[in-house]
């Protein structure tokens, strides 16, 4: 995909290095807060969780940049580049179709899987303090979609696509993407989105376009959750 293929060694290093970096960063953050602001941390658990989550996605982005050759590698290997307004419009239309299809699948499977619960709901329940809101909202709506698209579509699907028919690579990467969210009731929705995003990347050769899809999905989830919780994203 793109001007340079995704190497298996680079992908493996990224998948191993990121969790180690997250564990180290989380431990460091907790230790620093215990030493310098223990009372504040105890009374602001939501802020601490928001900070750790933001760190995790920043580290994922940094890991991908380091493993795939910096900004140029992200562009050439992971496909993050602008390919025109038409492709952006196509990506957004594909997201709407995936949203409708995923919702329909959820309704059909609700008796089997139970009530679906958005992962954004648990995250935003802790966003009661201004700091948590300021950190969580851009993390969920922008940083997480960017990092996840570079990982799941750019790196994982890109690596699989060079070795399998694109549709098989799409199914496998979509299943891994859905499973990684650890919400069984929403697995079908994430899987449908993963298929749509892989198809858009296959057609447009751009993870910028799939990022638009993902950011739209997460932004909608944030707006819905804030509405259901009876809060507003005000800092």
Tens of pLDDT along 207-220? Answer: 999 999 999 999 99
Q: What is the pLDDT of residues 45-62, one digit of tens each?
A: 778 888 999 999 999 999
Number of domains in the chain: 1
Q: Do 197 and 213 touch, CB atoms closer than 8 A?
A: yes
Extract the tokens encoding 130: 């201004």
Extract the tokens encoding 172: 């496998």
Among 84-88, 131-135, 162-166, name the one with the lowest average pLDDT. 131-135
Contacts of 102 (CB under 8 A, 6+ apart): 188, 189, 190, 192, 193
Interatomic CA distance for residues 139 and 73, integer angstroms:
23
Residue 180 lies in a domain: yes
Is residue 18's pLDDT more than 90? Answer: yes
Q: Do 199 and 206 touch, CB atoms closer than 8 A?
A: no
Among 81-85, 151-155, 169-173, 181-185, name the one with the lowest average pLDDT. 181-185
Per-residue pLDDT band for 233 (boundaries 50, 70, 90) equals very low
Q: Do 76 and 161 touch, CB atoms closer than 8 A?
A: no
Residue 218 lies in a domain: yes
| Structural domain span for residue 174 | 8-229
pLDDT at 202: 97
Residue 188 lies in a domain: yes
Residue 151 lies in a domain: yes
Is residue 124's pLDDT more than 70? Answer: no
Residue 215 lies in a domain: yes
Extract the tokens encoding 66: 């380091």
Residue 2 lies in a domain: no
Q: Do 5 and 59 touch, CB atoms closer than 8 A?
A: no
Is residue 113's pLDDT more than 90? Answer: no
Each as own residue / partner, the long-range contacts of residues 172-177 (CB below 8 Å, 24 or more positions apart, any chain) are: 173/198, 174/198, 176/152, 177/148, 177/152
- 0.75 exceeded by the pTM? yes
Look-up of token digits 């570079």? 150
Residue 234 lies in a domain: no
Residue 41 lies in a domain: yes
Burial string for 116-131 (b: 16+ CB within 10 Å, else e) reads bebbbbebbebbebee
Among 14-18, 113-117, 215-219, name the one with the lowest average pLDDT. 113-117
Interatomic CA distance for residues 18 and 13, integer angstroms:
8
pLDDT at 38: 80
Instruction: Tell me how far CA of residue 168 lies from CA of 72, 133, 199, in angstroms.
Output: 28, 39, 11
Is residue 30's pLDDT more than 50? Answer: yes
Looking at the chain, the whole-number percentage of residues with pLDDT higher than 70 is: 89
Of 229 and 231, more confident: 229
């Amino acid at each position: 995909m793109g001007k340079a293929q995704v190497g298996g060694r680079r992908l493996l290093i990224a998948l191993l290095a990121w969790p180690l970096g997250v564990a180290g960063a989380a431990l460091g953050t907790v230790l620093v807060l215990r030493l310098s602001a223990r009372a504040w941390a105890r009374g602001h658990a939501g802020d601490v969780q928001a900070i750790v989550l933001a760190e995790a996605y920043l580290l994922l982005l940094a890991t991908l940049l380091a493993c795939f050759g910096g900004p140029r590698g992200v562009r050439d290997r992971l496909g993050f580049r602008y390919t025109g307004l038409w492709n952006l419009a196509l990506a957004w239309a594909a997201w709407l179709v995936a949203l409708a299809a995923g919702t329909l699948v959820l309704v059909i499977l609700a008796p089997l899987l139970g009530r679906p619960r958005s992962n954004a709901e648990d995250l935003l329940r802790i966003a009661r303090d201004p700091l948590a809101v300021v950190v969580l909202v851009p993390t969920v709506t922008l940083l997480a979609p960017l990092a996840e698209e570079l990982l799941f579509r750019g790196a994982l699907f890109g690596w699989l696509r060079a070795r399998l028919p694109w549709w098989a690579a799409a199914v496998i990467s979509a299943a891994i993407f859905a499973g990684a969210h650890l919400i069984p009731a929403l697995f079908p929705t994430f899987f449908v989105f993963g298929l749509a995003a892989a198809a858009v990347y296959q057609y447009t050769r751009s993870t910028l376009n799939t990022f638009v899809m993902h950011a739209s999905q997460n932004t909608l989830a944030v707006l819905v959750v804030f509405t259901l919780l009876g809060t507003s994203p005000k800092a």
